[in-house]
Structure 1
Amino acid sequence: MKKKTKLIHGGIFGDEHTGAVSVPIYQVSTYKQDGPGRPKGYEYSRTGNPTRHALEELIKDVEEGDRGFAFSSGMAAMSAIMMLFSQGDHILLTDDVYGGSFRLMTKVLNRFGLEATFIDTSNLGNIEKEIKGNTKALFLETPTNPLLKVTDIAGAASVAKQFGLLTIVDNTFSTPYWQNPLTLGADIVLHSATKFLGGHSDVVAGLAAVNDKIIGDKLHFIQNSTGGVLGPQDSWLLLRGMKTLGIRMEEHEQNTKEIVKFLERHKHVLKVYYPGLKHHPNHEIAKRQARGFGSMVSFDVGSEEKAEEVLRRLNYFTLAESLGAVESLISIPALMTHASIPAARRKELGITDGLIRLSVGIEDIEDLIGDLEQALKL
């Protein structure tokens, strides 16, 4: 089954009781049992809900995994995954991660004794050097947010397996339409499903999939115990959004390629970050492990003042947090998504004050380029 077909027919299709072609919203908290301890399949909606289960089956199928999970947000998904580990365990993470992931590891989970080291995983040679006796997992974000760095998933997972580490991949930017980390050797894949999977800026959600039953059982125990589950209304919205993921991702990327060409030749743009560029450091790896380069692009205009001036002039790019929606979104990472990372650390990573991040939508490309053209007359 091809990806576009699987996004519509994967998981659980329709409702066998009524013939409805859309899985119903089971707005219910508890379920009648045949006898004490004898549920008919569901007992309590924190543990399992039919609408959420349909979504979990879908992400399992499209990520080519063994089991899927739906959480109340991407950060809830990441938090639950990190609860697989124990006090004193050490996690290696990509250095250029989303600011919320950095904040979770350094401001919350560190208080419970979970250690974290952030390294440039786009260079595989850095991974083995940082593995310690208590290292338990490798967490990759690829492409990264906001510098679009690419890590060789198969190569990194191979190193991790040599040392008995789990490989976890944040696949938010690529989505399962373009990239499937589990087929490349990863153990767990997660998404901020708020972004491309939902696609319409109307739901906050997190999804995960695993490639192993034992890991799946452990993660379900944590999901049920901690309770950060996705409700049935949001599960239904996400099921609906994912049906069109394929056609949206193709349109997103086509627009992005044209915008990258425009930015590359503009005199006020100092640098463009996009894996689809042949001069991107790991372009060949991105081409090998993914079926597309996505619709996230960052570019540098040299200063915070110039970046803010560009944002003030735009009409069709909405200044907002988040990404992956049908409408084009724009942000300054240093002031928004990555503000929780100390300024010195941002500078070290290359997240400058003049860096602008675009999430290219599916509007008419002539309107988008015209908007950028007039905004960049600095």
Structure 2
Amino acid sequence: MSYKRNSLLIHGGIDGDETTGAVNVPVYQTSTYKQDGLGKNRGWEYSRTGNPTRAALEKLIADLEDGQYGLAFASGLAAINTVLSLFKSGDKLIVSDNIYGGTFRILDNVFKNFNITYKIVDTSDLEAVENAIDDDVKAIYIETPANPLLTVTDIEAVSRIGKKHGKLVIVDNTFLTPYLQRPLTLGADIVIHSGTKYLGGHSDTISGFVVVNDKALADRLYYLQNAIGGVLAPWDSFLIIRGIKTLGVRMDRHVENAQKVAEWLVQSGYVSKVYYPGLETDPGYEIQKKQADGAGAMISFVLDEKYDYKVFFEKLQLITLAESLGGVESLVCHPATMTHAAIPADIRKEVGIVDELIRLSVGIEDADDLIDDLKQAIENSVKA
């Protein structure tokens, strides 16, 4: 039976436990499995290679992304590391010019040591993407909306470019989740998630995911998952399954709140720029509307120069200064010194990650309370 999105969140993957009738997938807290004889097992051998709780989650994330094969990892970076391990010395990737700082760090400080290099490109500029492709380029790696400037890239158009040149297209879909955006249906080859964020949704566990449709690509990734070993534990798999069950209702509230906060920021007079693809004035608005079912709940804004951003963070009362995003609580961070500190200052400045830039993960609290907290914190941070 085919389910609509909200039903799939609850009943997708492996629904419950046929053996006992439990409505939730059990936590198979085991490292190994009894074998019935030499070369005879019941489908399970060792929990790094496969675990029933993790397998249920992997099937669920594949279903949600309209994909065929899902893999679950101990963190988003473990997922990214495994995908990047597909490449060999001499290969090059095109990457979006504002991406998660951890992605840049692993490319610049780890994989560059193995002569796997990257080229930074504004992937919202399709001509720039096309011009950046050469024989060494093997993949185009994009985030959309990108972190932290919420730049929107046309996934379908970039996927056409990738297929034209025989390059993989990899999309980090963390900010929107499969509830709002499904890159595989738009032509992407690989989807990556930090499940720590909206999929888990409660800031209580760390995870990462990869989803693909191609069997040969899936087989390579499964081999790397087992060989590298950064797999998701059974209990964390259970927590993410539980979190996904409420993803729809949470994302609806996240997006509703973010729209209100973004519109307030624009007219507040307190900021010089607001980045949010749900605003009609945002350059990515039309593409975002075309390829996704919402603009997400991440907002970045630049405080006007008459306010001290350091004092602003100190004055917040309801909104929490912290790394990460996507939890039910609103979180705020300073990209230049927190999430994107690994990116060299000259590159940060060039793309717009200035010291006054603030990234806000809008939670599911009352939107008016969030606006009131932002207002009082800004008004109490006027420079002397």
The alignment's TM-score, normalised by the length of structure 1, stands at 0.99
How much does 1:302 deviate? 3.9
Match of 1:169 in 2: 171
2:244 is matched with which residue?
242
2:370 counterpart residue number: 368
CA contact (8 A) 1:304 1:353 kept: no
Contact 2:194/2:209 (<8 A) preserved? yes
Partner of 1:70: 72
Instruction: Give the alignment partner of residue 154 of structure 1, picking from 153, 156, 163.
Output: 156
SS of the residue 1:38 aligns to:
coil
Are 1:305 and 1:354, in contact at CA under 8 Å, matched by a contact in 2? no
Structure 1's 160 and 20: CA in aligned 2 closer, same or farther, altered over 3 A?
A: same
Is residue 231 of structure 1 aligned with residue 266 of structure 2? no
Counterpart contact for 1:171–1:190, Cα < 8 Å: yes
Gaps of 5+ in 1: none
Q: Contact conserved, 1:303 with 1:353, CA < 8 A, in 2?
A: no
Take 1:113 and 1:94, find their aligned partners in 2: how far apart are those partners?
Answer: 19
In structure 2, C-alpha distance between the alignment counterparts of 1:44 and 1:305, rounded to whole Å: 56
What are the superposed Cα offsets for residues 198-255 of structure 1, whole Å, 9 maximum, x if unpaired?
A: 0000001001100111111110000001100000010000000010000000000111
User: What residue in structure 2 maps to residue 284 of structure 1?
Assistant: 286
**Distance (whole Å) between structure 2 residues aligned to residue 251 and residue 357 of structure 1:** 19
Q: 2 CA distance for matches of 1:292 and 1:370?
A: 24
Q: Which secondary structure state, in structure 2, belongs to the residue aligned with residue 197 of structure 1?
A: coil
Specify the SS of the correspondent of 2:268: coil
Q: Tell me which residue corresponds to 2:328.
A: 326
Kept after mapping to 1: 8 A contact 2:263/2:279:
no
Q: Are 2:8 and 1:24 equivalent residues in the alignment?
A: no
Contact 2:65–2:184, Cα closer than 8 Å, also in 1: yes
Q: Distance in 2 between matches of 1:168 and 1:13?
A: 29
TM-score (norm 2): 0.97
Equivalence map 1:53-64=2 (5 Å): 53-64=55-66
Give how far 1:115 is off. Answer: 1.2
Deviation at 1:18, TM superposition (A): 0.5
Instruction: Give the Cα–Cα distance (whole angstroms) in 1 for the partners of residues 306 and 79 of structure 2.
Output: 33
Which letter does structure 2 place at the counterpart of 1:83? S
Q: Map 1:37-186 to 2 at 5 A.
A: 37-186=39-188
CA displacement at 1:375 relative to structure 2 = 1.0
1:252 is aligned, of 251, 254, 257, to 254
Q: 2:343 aligns with which of 335, 341, 347?
A: 341
1:268 corresponds, among 262, 270, 274, to: 270
Q: Which position in structure 2 is the counterpart of 1:36?
A: 38
Percent of residue pairs identical = 54
What displacement does 1:134 show? 1.5
Q: How many residues align?
A: 378
Structure 1 residue 261, shift from structure 2 partner: 1.3
Structure 2 unaligned spans of 5+: none
Q: Secondary structure at the match of 2:56?
A: helix
2:316 aligned partner: 314
Q: Distance in 1 between matches of 2:60 and 2:43?
A: 19
The alpha-carbon deviation at position 305 of structure 1 amounts to 6.7
CA–CA separation in structure 2 for the residues paired with 1:322 and 1:268: 25
